[in-house]
Amino acid sequence: MKKTFLILLLVLSAWLIAYPAFAADNPSTSSQLGVVASQSFQTIQSGYSSIEANYDSSVTIYGYTRAYYPVTQIGISFNLQYLSSDGSWVTLRTYTYSNYYSDYISKTIVVPVSSGFFYRVVTEHFTVDNGIRESGITQTQSVYVV
């Protein structure tokens, strides 16, 4: 019985580690990252985003989008959100950046925010090539700003 319980516990632990997306909406005090990578994309090779709480009532947002080859336009769009008192996520502001005839864009921004809230970033990674737009989404875990 003890052995069966231990094996079940190990399997459950391994499953939770392998599928961390279940914890994505749970507020935490540490910053986490989001990564997009899929073989179904024709132009987007990968994307990444993160958020970090600073000590001066601001957050640092970082992300990149990488294409397989130079495209007409490559971009990243950060949607900064906060957790409202009713438990829903509200977009405060969207920050969009693009490069042209490139295969890579990265951006770091520091945004002043109100203390006492949880914040996260939902990021759209996109490319436009020969008039065809492709995009993928990453979402960070939340951080608490003191």
Domain residue extents for the chain: 26-145
Q: Supply the pLDDT for residue 34.
A: 62
Mean pLDDT by 10 residues, the chain (146 residues): 41 34 32 58 96 97 98 98 98 98 98 98 98 97 97
Q: State pTM to two decimals.
A: 0.76
Q: Supply the pLDDT for residue 109.
A: 98
Find residue 35's DSSP bridge partners. Answer: 48
In contact, 126 and 75? CB cutoff 8 Å:
yes
Closest CA to 47 of 29, 31, 63, 23: 63
Q: Supply the pLDDT for residue 40.
A: 87
Q: Supply the pLDDT for residue 100.
A: 98
Residue position matching structure tokens 């969207």: 94
Q: Supply the pLDDT for residue 14.
A: 37
* The domain made up of 26-145 is a member of CATH 3.30.930.10: no
Q: Supply the pLDDT for residue 38.
A: 57
